[in-house]
Chains A and B, each alone.
Chain A
Amino acid sequence: MKISIDGRSLDVAAGTLVAAAIELAAPGQGARVSPTGLRRLPLCGMGICGECRVTVDGRVHRLGCQTLCAAGMEIRTDA
C-alpha cells in the first residue's frame, strides 16, 4: 500500500507499523529530535517511551509503534 512520509511516497506491506515505515524510508533518521537536539529512534516498541511520536493525518503526537500504516496515510516527522 502507498503512504507518504514528509511528502515522499512510499510503498509498504500491510501490517507495517508507522515507526517501521519511517525506518524503511530513511534508515536511522527516526521521528524525534530531543530537547537538546539529539536524534532518537524508538526504544520500547510498546507505547511507553514516546520516542516514535509523529503526526499522522494531521493528528499530532501519534505513537508510531502503536499505529499500523493504512493506504493513503500521511505521516509527518517534521511537523
Chain B
Amino acid sequence: MLESDDNIELHARVVVVGAGPAGLAAATVASAAGLAVLLLDAAPVPGGQIWRARQGVAAEPVARAQARLASAGVRVLSGTRVVMALPGRVLLIDGPQGARRLRWNRLILATGARERLLPFPGWALPGVFGAGGLQALVKGGWPIRGRRVLVAGTGPLLLAAAATLRREGADVVGLAEEARAVALARFAGTLAAHPRKAMQALRLGASLLGVPWTSGTRVVAAEGAGRVERVVLEGEGGKTRTIACDALAAGWGLIPQTELAQSLGCALAPRFGASAIAVDAQQRTSVDGVLAVGECTGIAGAVAAQLQGEAAGRAVVDDLDFDGPANPTARSSRRLAREHAFAAAVAITFAPPADWAARLRDDTLVCRCEDVPWSALRDQPDLRSAKLATRCGMGHCQGRLCHDTLAAVMHWPRLPVRPPLGPAPLATLLAVLDNPPDPPSTKEQST
C-alpha cells in the first residue's frame, strides 16, 4: 500500500504531519476508508503534547488510536521532522532512518502549538522552565520529587502542569496566575455553560488543594547564584513578595505552529488571539490539497482538535475516493462551534500581557540561542535589522522564541519563513540535491 520507489523516496496518498489528537483522528478516518496514510511526528512516541507518553508508554487514547492505525496499515514515522517543502507535492523529511523525500496527494497539517515563553529577568537561569515544558520533561523521567516548584504565567495549562508536577512528587509552592480576579469571575460564568470543562477544572482544582493560588500576580524576576533559588512576584496592588523555590515553571498560553504551512504558502488568519492557519469547514487551507487541523488552526483544545481531524479525514476520503460525505455532520459542526465558543472565552480571559517591554531589563536575554540582551534590540528598526545586527534568531530555535517575543513587544511584522524549517545536517540537504524529485505527473495533480 505504501509505494517506495527506492530507499530515498516514499509516497502516500495522504500524509499527516503531527501525531497529536488532531493528526491521529485524521489518520484514523482516512485509513479506515482504505486510503494509504503515512503519519509522521517529531516526538519519539505519538500523542502530541496533551496526550504525551509517560516514561515512554503511550497515553491510553493514543494506544487505542495506534491499534486502529496499525490494523489499517498506516505507517507511523516517529522522531521524524519535516525539513522543508519541495516543489511538486514533496516533503523532505529527516528521522532515524535518515533523510527521505515524501510525495503526497493530500497533506494534513496537525503541527500543534508551542508554549508562549516570554523573557523576564533571570529566565535564562537553570531551573526556569516552560510550564508545559517541565510537565513534558517530568513525563520523560526528569527528577522532580521533593523539589519546590513555583508555577506562573497565565492560562489553563498552568493548572494541568501543576497537577502533573504534584502527582510526580513535586512540592508545588504556589500557582501565580496573571489574569485578574474580575476576569476569572467572568470566565466562571462561561464555565457554567460548559459543564464538562467545569468538571475538568474542578478535578484539577481538587488535585491542587493546599497549593497557594493567586490571581492578578505576575513574575518580576527569577534570582539565584547559577540557578533559580527564588522568584519575585508582584500582586494586583503592586506589592511584591519573594518565594523560595528550586524551579519556576512559567508559560503564557500557546502559539499555533504555522511554519510548515507558511512555507507551503497557506494563508494565516487571527484566531483566538493568535495567528493561525486559515481553514474552511472541511479544514481546507488556501493551498490546494493541503488541509490543517487542531491547535495550528487556533488554540481550542483536544476535543476541537479531534473533531477537526475527523472532518479533514472525511474531506480527503471524498477527494480521493469519490464517495463518503465531504462535509462534517451537523452534530460534529455543533460540537466544534461549542468548543470554539469556549476557546474564545479562554483567549480573552488568559490573554498574553500587553506591556511586556516594561518587564525587560537592559541585560535580560531576549535571544537565548545567541545571548542577545534587550539593550541590543530595543533600538533596532525591525526584525531583519535586529537579526543581521545581533544574530537574534539565527540560532537553533530560528527565531521561534525570540522573534515571537519581538513581534509581540515591538509590533514588528514577522519575517517570511525560509527553509530549512529547523537546523538540518548538511547530508540531509545533499540527499535532495543528489536525487532531485521527479516532476509530478498531471494525473497526480488532478487527484
Q: Which residues of A contact B (CB under 8 A)?
A: 12-17, 19-21, 23-24, 27-28, 30, 34-36, 38-51, 53, 61, 65-68
Contact = CB atoms under 8 A, between A and B. Distances in A.
Interface of B: 42-45, 49, 53-57, 79, 114-115, 117, 124, 126-130, 132-137, 140-143, 226-227, 368-371, 395-397, 400-401, 423, 425
Nearest to B422: A47
A47 B133 CA distance: 10
A51 B137 CA distance: 13
A67 to B, nearest CB: 6
B56 A45 contact: no
A43 B123 CA distance: 9
B79 A40 contact: no
A61 B87 CA distance: 28
A57 to B, nearest CB: 11
A49 B143 contact: no
B136 A65 contact: yes
Contacts of A46: 43, 49, 114-115, 132-133, 136
Given A38-B124, A44-B130, A20 B397 contact: no
A77 to B, nearest CB: 13
Nearest to A39: B126
A30 to B, nearest CB: 6
Contacts of B126: 28, 30, 39-41
Nearest to B136: A45
Closest 4 A-B residue pairs measured CB to CB?
A: A15-B56, A50-B396, A17-B140, A45-B136
Given A50-B397, A66-B43, A21 B117 contact: no
Contacts, number: 122
Scoring A16, A24, A47, A61 by chain B CB atoms within 10 A of each residue's CB, the highest score goes to: A47
Contacts of A12: 141
Given A17-B142, A19-B142, A27-B143, A45 B55 contact: no
Contacts of A39: 126, 226
Nearest to B126: A41
A28 B370 CA distance: 21
B127 A34 contact: no
Nearest to A61: B423
Scoring A21, A28, A43 by chain B CB atoms within 10 A of each residue's CB, the highest score goes to: A43
B124 A16 contact: no
Nearest to A47: B42
Contacts of A67: 44, 79
A67 B56 CA distance: 10
Given A36-B371, A49-B368, A49-B396, A66 B44 contact: yes
Contacts of B45: 68
B387 to A, nearest CB: 16
Contact of B137 (A20, A38, A61, A68): A20
21 contacts: A15-B140, A20-B137, A24-B143, A36-B371, A39-B226, A41-B126, A43-B133, A44-B117, A44-B130, A44-B133, A45-B134, A45-B137, A46-B49, A46-B114, A46-B132, A48-B114, A49-B117, A49-B396, A49-B400, A53-B396, A61-B425
Contacts of A23: 142-143
A79 B412 CA distance: 37
A50 B130 CA distance: 13
A51 B226 CA distance: 16
B56 A68 contact: yes
A15 B54 CA distance: 8
Contact of B129 (A14, A28, A43, A50): A43
Contacts of B117: 43-44, 49
B109 to A, nearest CB: 17
B267 to A, nearest CB: 24
B127 A42 contact: no
Scoring A12, A19, A42 by chain B CB atoms within 10 A of each residue's CB, the highest score goes to: A42
Contacts of A14: 55-56
A43 B141 contact: no
A3 B388 CA distance: 41
A41 B134 CA distance: 11
Contacts of B56: 14-16, 68
Given A17-B141, A43-B129, 11 more contacts: A14-B55, A15-B54, A20-B137, A34-B371, A42-B129, A45-B134, A46-B115, A65-B140, A66-B43, A66-B79, A67-B44
A65 B368 CA distance: 17
B151 to A, nearest CB: 14
Contacts of B397: 48-50
Nearest to B48: A46
A63 B227 CA distance: 22
B57 A15 contact: yes
A42 B133 contact: yes
